[in-house]
Structure 1
Amino acid sequence: MSNNNVSQSTFKLFSFSGKMKMMHLSWMAFFITFMVWFNAAPLLGVIAESIGLTTSQIKTLLILNVALTIPARVLIGMVTDKYGPRLVYSLLLGFCSIPCFMFALGTTFEQLALARFLLGFVGAGFVVGIRMVSEWFPAKELGTAEGIYGGWGNFGSAAAAFTLPTIALAFGGPDGWRYAIGLTGLMSLGFAFIYYFNVTDTPKGSTYFKPKKAGALEVTSKGDFVLLLIMKVPMYATLALLAWKLSPTGVVMFSQQVTNGIYALLIAIFIIDVYQTYQVNKQVFTGTIPEFERYEFKQVAVLNVLYFSTFGSELAVVSMLPLFFAETFELGFAQAGMVASSYAFMNLMSRPGGGWLSDRFGRKSTLLILTAGLAIGYLGVAQIDGSWALPLAILMVMACSFFVQAGEGAVFAAVPLIKRRLTGQIAGMTGAYGNVGAVFFLTAYSMVSTQTFFYIIAASALFGFFTLFLMTEPKGHIAEVNEKGEVTLISVN
């Protein structure tokens, strides 16, 4: 039995060597994926005018943008655990430049919808970096490191809101938005090569632990097996909700026959998923799992619920906020995009701050405080209307976003401390719940008033607050077994 330690050197933020190089290159990759993912949000007004889109079609594009990320994050988490973050991140960056170019060249709603749906895959990039950073940083620095990775990467959406309208205007004409979006695709393609040739999966001499079986998340008890199946249901239900939204009941993108076919396909895939999950975990019914290898899946379930409210609301709000400011305060699309970027701008400080607080004061207590603040923050944002002074509205939005993004940082300060070899899959499932939340909230946004939309998010945060009492603070060590059967202890303190 041995102890697996990554570099214990001082956390030097502005260094570009060793573990800091890996973190910086990873947040840059994440930054680009987010810029690509949300490159259309600040340009929706001009895109709608250029193509002739209806309000309903615009809201549909917002929902499509986050739909595919639900299964993509689960899939990418599995692939990352098996093949390593270096290869997976590089391929993802290269692949996702293709639908980005497709969107830039689209001339009909159907073409834009397909490209936007495929672009949801780029949102899975976040999961890859979580595993990379967890391999390079010790537990005492992990919350801060993951927070910087997530926060600086998430800032890509703010960068898109701040810069792309200006770039579009610089090119001029009704097609300026195409050049702005195409530019983000070029960035993604170019950085795929930079990342591949400049990172390694682990520090020299460290072991990269892989799942014992592929195809589903491993659990270690019968109760956890049942809970895992329960937690899968909302992901499939959300995809069914999206199909319903695109059916004749919604924007009539699909016929009723196609919609029914999608429902049947989702049911079939769910049955296959349940069978595959049983195949991977049938040992839990024989009681052959050593005690030192066990972990509590309820930890994952609680983090899923919290990310539903935190990141789910961020995705939804980032998507609708430019339009909200434009309509509420009668701003131009460029000005509204810059003002709305204040929400995502807080990622630079808030998400690392949430990770840092978790490292210093504990994961559970930090999450309790931040989740309560999140609920109060959205109740405040719900009160914004045209009678507010614009600077006051911006301050209210920024205050709310602090708790949202610090909560995200605190969630992913805990994710890598559950089971090292499953970090990609746990991060994938937790991340997918963020997109479940986004689709849920954006669907609600398309059906209710803006004020009610914010109230719904606040209610979900209150639910997450109470689930936190089921969470156990990570302590001690994670036991992992390598391919030679040797047991390694990894500290979570």
Structure 2
Amino acid sequence: MSYTDRFQLFSFTGKMKVLHLSWVAFFITFIVWFNHAPLLMAIADSLNISISEIKTLLIINVALTIPARIIIGMLTDRYGPRLVYSSLLVLCSLPCFAFAIADSFTQAAIARFFLGFIGAGFVIGIRLISEWFPHNELGIAEGVYGGWGNFGSAAAALTLPTLALLFGGEDGWRYAVGLTGLLSLGFGIIFYQQVTDTPKGSTYFKPKHLGAIEVTSKGDLFLLMLMKLPLYGALILLVWKLSPEAANILSVALSMSLYVCLAVLCFIDCYKAWQVNKTIFSKPVPKLHQYKFKQVTILNILYFATFGSELAVISMLPLFFAETFQLNPVTAGLLASAYAFMNVMSRPGGGWLSDRFGRKPVLLILTAGLAIGYFVMGMVDSEWPLWLAVVAAMTCSFFVQSGEGAVFAVVPLIKRRLTGQIAGMTGAYGNIGAVTYLTILSFVDYSNFFMVIAGTALVGFIILLWMDEPAGQIAEINEDGTVELINVA
């Protein structure tokens, strides 16, 4: 099967083989990343840890993912998806095994901190899929990759408690977690053996610099630096959540040290961006090779509202149903799971719609639906019929996850050699959204929480009006100096 062959979902040759192996790799990363969540009570009993320490594990699990997505995006662009994805799966099996054999809170926390790195695996497949699929199939291909892979967290919740019971005893959870590590290790080897970075005869374009995203105008450089600030702001917020003012896990001295370190890292990161791009002040980039960084900025904001709200809502929806409708935890959890299950079809659906009807029009419609959906969720109270509340949640979920698919139908069409870095930044903004929304939830009630998300979606809709529909071609330079033009529309 060649690059131009038809999209046949249930084929397992050529580009379809790469797609299926990619979403399975992403699926496994999410199983490993969330392998503790359905086993928390057993873990707490085994390690004799408190409720506050459990909450700390949940925060630590996502802390490293924000910078990891940036780093993994850079490494993917430089060294190729095949090597980076395989290495990530193999190396992250080590902290997974370490968590399985931990016998104290400290050991478990350190292991979970490093396991946050596996949450960056999503970024790698975005670049890989863009190498194998033409622009008119890219939306649905990225949607299948994201939607089916993202189901790994639900699969962990459905299977790991049963596996722990089958293994039996107080160490059943350890064997279940360890099994996910073996799965990651084994598939990392399989992925390396079965995947190539590009179809035969195609060129894998690499960025000129590894330390920062290349931009092509002076204004874009300042915009890039501005967009770095929320990345560090979210990490500062995570430190605050662990500080004496909040969870009281970190000491005052350690908290202050981390604040200073993050401020210094932010300065170094911005300085690195300046170093990589300072030549644009003396030598303008030829128009053929220019791209608009505003496209990346807009997608970051949209992913903040879509994936950020998905992560936040999945975390609180069972409790929302339980408290609003006086349900037992099992029933509330089952009803809330409908929100996550929509991912399997909604995300590919958003990508398919983008392929057929245009990137910008579809994003506008889905973002408007997202805002309306969360506004409706904010109106739900105990007087609503339960079935109608579930329908409202599922409808809202459709727009959220279709919007995610539509966002990543655009990401690979901005600048091919920078796709990993762009996907890394956009993906990180999704995590920033989750941290922000969950922090807001700690200060407001459920209704206002949903209204805040609706408000940010409305802001995203307005900003989206300034996005340019991908058109024409991307210009990249081959190793021999010739220019290759890649169709994006």
Q: TM-score range by the shorter chain?
A: over 0.9
Using a 3 Å threshold, how does the CA distance of structure 1 residues 415 and 352 change in structure 2: closer, same or farther? same
Cα-to-partner distance string for 1:111-157 (whole Å, 9 max, x where unaligned): 33332222211111000000000000000110111011111111111
Q: Which residue of 2 aligns with 1:369?
A: 365
Q: Partners of 1:50 and 1:392 in 2: how far apart?
A: 40
Please tell me whether the aligned partners of residues 65 and 117 of structure 2 are also in contact (alpha carbons under 8 angstroms).
yes
Superimposed CA distance per residue, residues 229-253 of structure 1 (whole angstroms, 9 cap, x where no aligned partner): 0000000111111111111111122
SS of the residue corresponding to residue 408 of structure 2 reads helix
2:186 corresponds in structure 1 to 190
Match of 2:107 in 1: 111
1:174 positional shift: 4.7
Amino acid of the structure 1 residue aligned with 2:427 = G
- Residue number in structure 1 paired with 2:198: 202
Unaligned runs of 5+ in 2: none
247, 252, 263: which one aligns with 2:243 = 247
**For 1:444 and 1:114, how far apart are their aligned partners in 2?**
27
| AA partner of residue 359 (structure 1) | D
Q: CA deviation at 1:401?
A: 1.2
Tell me whether 1:345 sits opposite 2:349 in the alignment. Answer: no
Aligned partner of 1:156 among 145, 152, 156:
152
Pair 1:42-2:38 in alignment: yes
Instruction: Name the SS for the 1:413 alignment partner.
Output: coil
Does the 8 Å CA contact 1:154/1:344 hold for their aligned counterparts? Answer: no
Tell me which residue corresponds to 1:137. 133
SS at match of 1:208: coil
Aligned residues between the structures: 487
How far apart are the structure 2 equivalents of 1:39 and 1:317? 19
- The one-letter amino acid paired with 2:19 is M
Aligned to 2:262: 266
Deviates more, 1:447-456 or 1:481-490: 447-456
- 8 Å CA contact 1:59–1:446 kept in 2: the answer is no
**Cα distance change of structure 1 residues 488 and 74 upon mapping to structure 2, 3 Å threshold:** same
What displacement does 1:371 show?
1.0
Are the aligned partners of 1:41 and 1:320 in contact in 2 as well (CA < 8 Å)? no
Distance in 1 (CA, whole Å) between partners of 2:379 and 2:48 is 32
Return the offset for 1:388.
Answer: 5.4
Q: Percent identity?
A: 66
The CA deviation at 1:10 is 0.8
Q: In the alignment, is the contact (CA less than 8 A) between 2:228 and 2:270 conserved in 1? A: no
**Distance in 2, Cα, partners of 1:294 & 1:170:** 57
Among 354, 357, 361, the residue aligned to 2:353: 357
Residue type at the aligned position of 1:134: S
Q: Give the residue type in structure 2 aligned to 1:229.
A: M
**Equivalent pair of 1:377/1:400 in contact (CA under 8 Å):** yes
Counterpart of 1:3?
none
- Bigger shift: 53-62 or 236-245? 53-62
Q: What does 1:219-238 correspond to in 2, within 5 Å?
A: 219-238=215-234
SS across alignment from 1:483: coil
CA contact (8 A) 1:150 1:409 kept: yes
Query: One-letter code of the match for 2:308?
Result: G
Q: CA RMSD in A?
A: 2.0
TM-score (norm 1): 0.93
How is 1:356-435 mapped onto 2 (pairs within 5 angstroms)?
Answer: 356-384=352-380, 390-435=386-431
Tell me, yes or no, if structure 1 residue 212 matches structure 2 residue 208.
yes
Cα distance in 2 for partners of 1:7, 1:95 equals: 31
Q: Is the 8 A contact 1:157 1:318 kept in 2?
A: no
Change (3 A) 1:453 1:170: farther
For structure 1, which runs of at least 5 residues remain unmatched after alignment?
1-5
The structure with higher relative contact order (CA 8 Å, sep 6+) is: 1
The answer to whether the 8 Å contact 1:201/1:208 transfers is yes
1:461-480 equivalences under 5 Å are 461-480=457-476
- Given that residues 318 and 329 in structure 2 are in contact (C-alpha distance below 8 angstroms), is that contact kept between their aligned partners in structure 1? no
Distance in 2 (CA, whole Å) between partners of 1:115 and 1:453 is 32
